[in-house]
Amino acid sequence: MITVYNHQHVLHQGKVEMFRGQLVPCFEVPARADFVLAELQRRGLGAVQAPVDSGLDVVQRIHSPRYLDFLAGAWAEWVALDPANAARDVLPSVWPVRSFRSDVLPANFAARMGLFSYDAGTPLTAGTWAAAYGGAQCALTAAGLVSGGERSAFALTRPPGHHAGADFFGGYCFLNNAAIAAQALRDAGAARVAVLDIDYHHGNGTQAIFYDRADVFFASIHGDPHTEYPFYLGYADETGSGAGQGHNLNLPLPRGTDFARWRAALGQALQAIARSGAEALVVSLGLDTFEGDPISGFHLRSADYLQVGADLAAAGLPTVFVFEGGYAVAEVGLNAVNVLEGFA
């Protein structure tokens, strides 16, 4: 398996996030990707290469122009407001909920931060755009390898992407790498693509992007949104709309779910993907289903991830893996590479 590694990921290093009413050190840290890379190299599981820069053409088919413009220029705007801002990250503080308007682009920077975000746990930093852009290029390169005949490829990057929608960031995510990979696979000729999200947290951004499309089937196994972030999407009755009706499958599970129950849900998702007629698969590879994860609640163990990889391989589809969550940092490399080894 070829791994496409984003060396730029280290440029995104948030200082603090809002978590349960307090400013705390960020859970999403550069060491997450570093541990995965080190474990890949220790086991010799395929080549590691840098992404090829393909520009923004495909990215613009997933994310809105005004959102991309904001992300690309946000840090410069922030520092221009006050040079002292260079020493502190940006967190949003106001949001246009319910009956508020979102069609008008405010001149005020804080208002635009709120317009394009949905939580206060996702700091924007000096290197956020470079890291996120590099991640999108990883996703595009991995998709290109698979479209070109590789059985699988792994986009190893951070910040993660599956919570980012067409025009919003949150949940540590800015550009939706899984959606970008799926679109690239479609553009390369796959008539239908499936995205399978196995992160503990529902891939709300990916669902929103493809919810009314019939050409991309989305399935997610995740913590029950009655109690688990991101709360406002991920219920079982969300099955798609318009042309996308029947092309969205959510499998929420209660906190405390063990591997046997989780694996049964994985089998259900893979059966639905087979029925969808997908010709290629994108896996949002979150490892926060691990029993030791500090912000999640499933009970998968490290050895279980070998079986997860084997089950994914049994689907028989060309597969792009995209690194998402997983915040038990010391174990995330072992768990991620177990999935890849099980698949291989």
Catalytic residues: 163
Residue (of 184, 176, 243, 173) closest to 207 by Cα position: 176
Those residues whose C-beta lies under 8 Å from the C-beta of residue 128, and which sit 6 or more positions away, are: 11, 12, 71, 74, 75, 159, 174
The angle subtended at Cα 342 by Cα 340 and Cα 344, nearest 5°, is: 70
Phi/psi for 35 (5° steps) reads -65, -35
Those residues whose C-beta lies under 8 Å from the C-beta of residue 196, and which sit 6 or more positions away, are: 219, 220, 269, 270, 273, 281, 282, 283, 284, 312
Pairing, β 280-285 against β 193-197: parallel
Neighbours of 235 (CB within 10 A): 13
Residue (of 112, 219, 229, 98) closest to 171 by Cα position: 229
Spatial contact of 73 and 62, defined as CB atoms under 8 Å apart: no
Residue (of 40, 111, 23, 22) closest to 285 by Cα position: 40
Element holding 96 (H helix, E strand): none
Element holding 222 (H helix, E strand): strand 216-223
Q: What is the DSSP letter of 136?
A: H
46: its two tokens: 């395929």
User: Interhelix angle for 329-343 vs 31-43, to 10°?
Assistant: 40
- The span from the first CA to the last CA of the chain, in angstroms, equals 7
CA–CA gap between residue 153 and residue 134 (Å, rounded): 16
101: its two tokens: 């308007």
